[in-house]
Amino acid sequence: LSLSHTHTHNSTRIPNLLLHHNCFSFAILFLFHACVADTGCKGCCRNEFEKLIQKDMSVAQYEAKFTALSHFASELVEKEELKAKRFQKGLRTTIRRPVAALKLHTYNDVVERAMIVEEALRDSMRIWESSSLSRSSHEGTHSGKKAKVTT
């Protein structure tokens, strides 16, 4: 995951970074503190919050970034239900649809259910991948051909 652009704050340049999962929260926190120190950047952080979507982030990463950037647009999330809806709106479609069907009203409930859906999707993908691998291996042995094994 990389930050989409380079920020400049009080003559401090934050370069585009390739972030590992365990560094993500630290980078968001660093960006947040840099934005707080630079009043000119508050507008760019607000704009980034308004455009924030999950993309390839995990729900936990998206939630961390959402929380950090929401401080720059507090009036957009001051009511619990608005905050929940805004967070939900930015989720990937595969996660947003099942969560939206639950008609949740609190931010914590939306985040919690989104994490549950994300994990269920991961589990489904693992099952599908293992069954696909099993099918291709099984088909290879029944057709008189040896299954191709890669390491």
Look-up: residue for tokens 């489904």?
A: 124
Q: Cα 148 from chain centroid?
A: 36
Which of 60, 78, 96 corresponds to the end of one domain? Answer: 78
Which of 78, 102, 127 corresponds to the end of one domain? Answer: 78
Label residue 150 by pLDDT band (50, 70, 90): low
With respect to residue 85, please indicate whether it lies within any of the assigned structural domains. yes
Cβ atoms of residues 115 and 108 within 8 Å = no
Look-up: residue for tokens 């608005």?
A: 82
Task: Report residue 10 as tokens.
Answer: 């009080």
Q: What is the pLDDT of residue 133?
A: 74
Q: What is the pLDDT of residue 35?
A: 60
Q: What is the pLDDT of residue 43?
A: 76
Same domain, 72 and 101: no
Which of 47, 78, 109 corresponds to the end of one domain? Answer: 78
Same domain, 46 and 94: no
Same domain, 49 and 95: no
Higher-confidence position of 40 and 57: 57
Q: What is the pLDDT of residue 103?
A: 97
Name the residue type at position 59: V
* Maximum mean pLDDT: which of 62-76, 104-118, 136-150: 104-118
| Alpha helices in 9-151, H assignment, sequence order | 21-37, 42-51, 59-70, 74-77, 80-90, 93-101, 107-142
Q: Cα 7 from chain centroid?
A: 20
Strand partners, 9: 12
Query: How many domains does one find in the chain?
Result: 2
- Domain containing 73: what range? 1-78
Instruction: Please state the three-class secondary structure of 75-99 as a single string.
Output: HHHCCHHHHHHHHHHHCCHHHHHHH
| pLDDT above 60 for 9 | no
